Amino acid sequence: MRDLVDWANNKDKIYPVKYATDLYFKFVSIHSFGNGNSRTARLLMNLALIEAGYPAVNVFSDEKYKNKYIDVLANSRLENAREIFENLIGEYAEKALKNHIKILELNEHNIEQARKEINL
């Protein structure tokens, strides 16, 4: 755990999505708890994304995404290639950002419509 904390203290040198996914990998490889390592790792990953200004990613939004996540994670571990997992989380982060932008655009549209309706 000390090595993980030491590594985590240098997060400013790493691209935020890469940092978040590497944090996941490093934490889950420690097997810190008897149960819940993956859940805790996902929480840490999302905390790192949120701290960097990104929205949290929902890796289990539906069965298709859950299966893809599990397959990519397994392949990434088997091939010892974190970039496979980093790319997937990058895709999820991009999707979350696009959804966030759509929500903001809808909000702006709704504010404009409300102003027109009440003559502001």
Catalytic residue ranges: 31
Picking from 41, 36, 35, 77, the residue whose alpha carbon sits closest to that of residue 59 is 41
Single-letter amino acid code for the residue at 21: T
CA angle 75, 76, 79 (to 5 degrees): 80
| Lookup result for tokens 């950002």 | 97
